[in-house]
Amino acid sequence: MPVKTITLNNGVAMPEIGLGTWKADEEGILAKTIKKAVDLGYRHIDCAKIYGNQKEIGKALSELTVPRKDLFIVSKIWQNVHRPELVAGALDDILDELQLEYLDLLLIHWPYAQKPESDTMNPTVDDLDNVPIMDTWRAMEALLDSGKVRSIGVSNFNQAILEKMIPQCRVVPAVNQVEIHPYNQAPELVKFCQENNIVVTGYCPLGGTKISVMDDDFIKRVANAHACTPAQVALSWSLARGVVVIPKSTNELRLEQNLKTVTLTSDEMRMFSKIEKHERKVDPGRDLKELEWVFHEDTAACPLI
């Protein structure tokens, strides 16, 4: 069965379940996983320059028999190419690694910049660069005219940043990819994005490896009631909120399982609010005072628009 799609604000259709690829980089496993996933019906693949595995993904993509137009390939530019003059080259580099002529969606991975020579995932203050987000965004907008990318969006952008950004955009981001799972539900951000025609993609939809969403007693009870797994409950909950999911698995059985979601009752959906923990897996630079505005939404005052 084909995965259902959601329509972006530019009319492009994006499959609502995609395959995550972060840390799926053991030699040989990833290529096998991509091929298996596509056989099972996955069409949306979530990549990023910083994951360091796009060459292997590109090789696997080049060997697929599915037409390119049926795939939905996403990638993200890292913080060290935020300077506007570096953005087009960063896209070319991604296309080169993935062996593609165009991407379906390119995201700004995080809303802050690092110096060109800094590709760390754990920046210190010396890694940071002073590049206004709108300068990077205007360079992203220009990429649409090149035909090398069908849609552009952002990732890890909170509401305060988007509120400042949207009135200045020629093209409003099509997607905001943020951490969303039952222990980090972000209801205000989801509502804000959806009201502004920005599709939310939830990353770490299963809580990743560190957050024990799948051991939650409530989720386990719901899974029992629907004769499915806790992972399927977590994914079904996101999809019922209109949030796209990109679970990562390199296991054949779990890849298949993650495509089969269930319909939760409205009572079950309501009860999820009781298990919220505001627990995040991913927050690089979490201890940097200079990046507080990225991670603490209530005090978010983006200095660089």
Ligand X SMILES: NC(=O)c1ccc[n+]([C@@H]2O[C@H](COP(=O)([O-])OP(=O)(O)OC[C@H]3O[C@@H](n4cnc5c(N)ncnc54)[C@H](OP(=O)(O)O)[C@@H]3O)[C@@H](O)[C@H]2O)c1
DSSP, collapsed to helix, strand or coil, labels residue 287 as: coil
Q: What is the nearest approach in angstroms of ligand X to the Cβ of residue 111?
A: 11
Q: What are phi and psi of 271, to 5 degrees?
A: -65, -20
> Per-residue contact track with ligand X, 6 to 45, x per CB under 6 A?
--------------xxx-----------------------
Residues of span 223-252 touching ligand X by CB under 6 A: 229, 231, 246-251
Q: Which residues contact 67 (CB under 8 A, 6 or more apart)?
A: none
Positive or negative: CA dihedral 82, 85, 89, 91: positive
Closest-CA residue to 150 (of 297, 9, 5): 9
Pick from 8, 17, 75, 13: nearest CA to 205: 17
Cα–Cα distance for residue pair 157/179, rounded to 1 Å: 10
Work out how close the CB of 145 gets to ligand X at its nearest, in angstroms, rounded to a whole number: 25
The least CB distance from residue 67 to ligand X, in Å, is: 23
Chain position whose Cβ is nearest to ligand X:
20
In angstroms, give the least distance from the CB of 24 to ligand X: 7
Pick from 206, 210, 199, 222: nearest CA to 104? 199
Contact 244, 199 (CB under 8 A): yes
The answer to whether 82 is a known ligand-binding residue is no
Longest CA pairwise span in the chain (Å): 54
Question: For 181, which DSSP code?
Answer: B
Q: Which of residues 53-112 bind ligand X (CB under 6 A)?
A: 109
The one catalytic residue in 42, 51, 112, 183 is: 51
Nearer to ligand X, 146 or 212 (CB): 212
- To which residue do tokens 């507080």 refer? 292
Residue with Cβ nearer ligand X (25 or 135): 25
Binding mask 128-157 for ligand X (x = CB under 6 A): ---------------------------xx-
| 209 lies in the site for ligand X, by CB under 6 A | yes
Determine the size of the site formed for ligand X (CB under 6 A).
28
State the first-to-last Cα distance of the chain, in angstroms, to the nearest integer: 43
Could you say whether residue 204 binds ligand X (CB under 6 A)?
Answer: yes
112 belongs to the catalytic site: no
Catalytically active residues are 51
Point out which residues bind ligand X (CB under 6 A).
20-22, 46, 109, 155-156, 177, 203-209, 214, 229, 231, 246-251, 254, 257-258, 282
